[in-house]
Amino acid sequence: MTISRRDVLGPALVVAVFVILGSCASLLLVTPSLRAPSGASYDATWLVLYYSTMPRLATAILAGAALALAGALFQQVLRNPLADPTTLGVSAGANLALVVATLFIPGLLGANRDLVALTGSAAAAAIVLGLGARRGFSPYSLVMSGLVLSLWCGGLAAILTYLNQRYLASLFIWGSGSLSQQSWVIPKSLLWKITAVAVVCSLILRPLSLLDLGDNSSASLGVKVGRLRVIAIACAVALSAFVTSAVGVISFIGLVAPTLARLSGARRPRQLIFWSSLIGASLLFCADAVLQLVAGGLGDFLPTGAVTAIFGSPLLLALLPRLRIRHRIQQSAVWNRPRQSRASIGLVYATVGLLLVIGLSMFVGRSVDGRLAILSGEMAPDILAIRAPKVFAALASGAMLAVAGSILQRLTGNEMSSPEVLGISAGSTFGVAVGLFAVAPGLFGQFVFAVSGAIAVLAVIFFSSRRSGFSPERVLLAGIALSAMVDAVVGVLSSTGDPRAALLMRWMSGSTYLVDGLTALTEIGVGAVLVALAFAARHWLDILPLGPSPASAVGLSLTKTRLSLFGLAGLMTGAATLTVGPLSFVGLMGPHLAREAGLTRALPQMIGSAAIGGALMVLADFLGRTIAAPYQIPAGLVSAMIGAPFLMFMMRKRA
């Protein structure tokens, strides 16, 4: 088996470029320190250089190599060009486990921090691979479930950090991937751990190369395919966990490095794994050195992982057309017309359930002694005056998200579409973040910025998916990639130390704690107008799922109709996320439960979705108010904790 010069020169050139750029940035970074005058300040400068700057660069090299090796292993063993610790949720699982242990079982971190990270990574990998195995390890199902799990773990970790910011002020920055060091302890620890895993990887390189022949051919040559997959995935999970335990989540290095290695000429598995590790090490070394040089004094506070995600997400979008989809989402049977009697019964159940939940949330709560009690006595009017705005704001927000989810599912022909999964809620978050840091707007201004961000994300999804004919799989993955990028931008903004970052985190948690009467009335008024417009578009939504030809035959302008409905969904999402945050998943659960109740025509489904979505948010608000009373868990967090597992269940059910 011969190796051409291009197979070596191409990847070597990529490594050389990154090393030269990183070295130049590092020299520019440390040269002023080396020229400091002699004396006490001179000695302090050398101490900073030896114990902070150099360990940081060494950590960047080791972490980049480990993550790139993990990504190459995942891609080879799963035969998925988009697999890496970020897209499979492995890094996010380790990060969430570390956050939870820090909050609730800190003794575990002292006993064995790496074991905690390994447990989280292994749990995430087991969930994602378990879903993927039911679909023959389809690239789409693996990436879809991994990115959703990653978003949920990342969101939950960020919100838990916010709720305990007095104790974990710097944990959010670390969790976003901070390479800052104060000694050589972490790079030395990473060195021997990565070396041990790399030795194991070297022993399985030959059988890994045979996997390209297919499972049957590999097995006929004596390869135990199942055992090999377990060993390779275990090595990749361990590498991801070690890096996450040491420096937090560094996003997309495991995707970018193998892609660059492949594009530069490394085709065979051995070449791909070897050069990916070198490219990953040089890439993160270069990125961190340039970040420190550009950021100046903020270099120690800006998380490198969030910065790499900003550049990695567009690459993921660019690579989507190359992803081979073996699993196709079923679209035909979803919109069948039910019997009228079943639809009517479903609407009755949804309405009755909504009224019961509103009554429960309004009149039931914790008493002074901590027991659940029905509201009564002289204080009842005052308590209702405080409680009612929160309940009705949650109701309006849940209804808008659910109706927006119904519109998006009919437009994409995909029952897994929702404002949260498609990244529209993340776009609203980005809009609000820009508003808070740029002009500090009031409620109306926040609404304008949130809607602008949502529509911007919709526009990117719309234009990036036109070439694939709005393929549901491409639309979903594009939305999730944009969510990852937006979350990274928000992470960079939140790590600046600006007091407005705390306001942004509170808003992202989806708390109704500060909702007053004016805010509730505004939310209800906007929701009533937008939901009425959606109801008026019911004929469009009945026709569009039939396909482009029938829609054009009855006179619909497909471009204008789709743009109008996408824009309407963006308006509802922007308005709703102002109250319940970007991660509620009500936009997914409401339409699905309405369909299960027999409501598949556009108008009945939207009415049922509005009732169910509103009821879910009101119930989440009630649970958040009573579970840990007198403290309040944000309604958005409660619904997200239910919603993401619900999405996983749906994916498992559709296998």
568-617 pLDDT, tens digit per residue, is: 888 888 888 878 877 677 888 888 888 877 888 888 899 999 999 999 89
pLDDT value of residue 530? 93
pLDDT value of residue 67? 92
pLDDT value of residue 513? 75
Q: Is a pLDDT exceeding 50 seen at residue 636?
A: yes
Averaged pLDDT for residues 81-108: 82
Q: Is a pLDDT exceeding 50 seen at residue 547?
A: yes
Please report which confidence band the pLDDT of residue 331 belongs to, taking 50, 70 and 90 as the band edges. Answer: very low
81 burial type by CB count under 10 A (0-12 exposed, 13-18 middle, 19+ buried): middle
Percent pLDDT > 90 in the chain is: 12
Amino acid letter, 343:
A
pLDDT tens string 195-221: 999 999 988 888 888 776 776 777 777
pLDDT value of residue 550? 77
Coil, strand or helix at 65: helix
What are the structure tokens assigned to 159, written together? 């919100």
Distance CA 245, CA 295 (A): 25
Please report which confidence band the pLDDT of residue 169 belongs to, taking 50, 70 and 90 as the band edges. Answer: low
What are the structure tokens assigned to 205, written together? 């390189």
pLDDT value of residue 45? 72
pLDDT value of residue 471? 59
Q: Is a pLDDT exceeding 90 seen at residue 107?
A: no
Q: Which residue has the higher pLDDT, 129 or 328?
A: 129
Distance CA 536, CA 407 (A): 12
Q: What is the mean pLDDT of the chain?
A: 78
Averaged pLDDT for residues 50-78: 89
Please report which confidence band the pLDDT of residue 534 belongs to, taking 50, 70 and 90 as the band edges. Answer: very high
Residues 636/581, Cβ–Cβ less than 8 Å: yes
DSSP letter (8 states) at residue 522: H
Q: Is a pLDDT exceeding 70 seen at residue 463?
A: yes
pLDDT value of residue 356? 92
What are the structure tokens assigned to 71, written together? 């990504």
Nearest to 255 by CA among 20, 80, 479: 80
pLDDT value of residue 239? 92
Nearest to 190 by CA among 85, 283, 63: 63
pLDDT tens string 403-421: 999 998 888 777 767 787 7
pLDDT tens string 147-158: 678 767 876 776
Q: Is a pLDDT exceeding 50 seen at residue 334?
A: no
Please report which confidence band the pLDDT of residue 466 belongs to, taking 50, 70 and 90 as the band edges. Answer: low
Range of weakest confidence among 311-320, 330-339, 343-352: 330-339
pLDDT value of residue 158? 64
Please report which confidence band the pLDDT of residue 652 belongs to, taking 50, 70 and 90 as the band edges. Answer: low
Q: Is a pLDDT exceeding 90 seen at residue 395?
A: yes
pLDDT value of residue 1? 42
pLDDT value of residue 7? 58
pLDDT tens string 501-512: 777 777 777 777
Please report which confidence band the pLDDT of residue 536 belongs to, taking 50, 70 and 90 as the band edges. Answer: very high
Cα angle: 118, vertex 143, 572; to 5 degrees: 110
pLDDT value of residue 332? 39
Percent pLDDT > 70 in the chain is: 80
pLDDT value of residue 296? 65
Coil, strand or helix at 366: strand
pLDDT value of residue 335? 46
Amino acid letter, 110:
G
Distance CA 270, CA 159 (A): 41
Q: Is a pLDDT exceeding 80 seen at residue 362?
A: yes
Averaged pLDDT for residues 72-79: 86
Distance CA 211, CA 487 (A): 35
What are the structure tokens assigned to 264, written together? 């530069």
Please report which confidence band the pLDDT of residue 333 belongs to, taking 50, 70 and 90 as the band edges. Answer: very low
How many Cβ atoms from other residues are within 10 Å of residue 10's Cβ? Answer: 18
pLDDT value of residue 32? 63
Please report which confidence band the pLDDT of residue 319 belongs to, taking 50, 70 and 90 as the band edges. Answer: low
Going along the chain from its start, the domains and CATH numbers come out as 57-322 (1.10.3470.10), 340-653 (1.10.3470.10)
Residues 278/8, Cβ–Cβ less than 8 Å: no
